[in-house]
Amino acid sequence: MRVQVKYNDEILIFESEEPKKITEILKNFEIPSSTVLAVYDETIVPHSSIISEDLMIELIVVSSGG
């Protein structure tokens, strides 16, 4: 499967032969899961969601420095 991840105006590509949780994909790109919301088809989805087919998810940054 091929997952396109839109993050900070970039498209990151993740490929795998096996289904993966969104948390595993975030770890691959070293993106802390506590800093983003995952959105698929205009719906926020849990990071525990398993992806098993080609698709695109968007990551919305929800944290800021302080």
Domain ranges of the chain: 2-61
DSSP bridge pairs for 37: 60
CA dist., res. 62 & res. 54, Å (int): 25
Superfamily of domain 2-61: Beta-grasp domain (3.10.20.30)
Pairing of strands 43-45, 10-15: unpaired
- Assess whether pLDDT exceeds 70 at residue 65: no
pLDDT at 63: 72
Q: What is the pLDDT of residues 4-57, one digit of tens each?
A: 999 999 999 999 999 999 999 999 999 999 999 999 999 999 999 999 999 999
- Token digits of residue 36: 């983003």
pTM score, whole prediction: 0.90
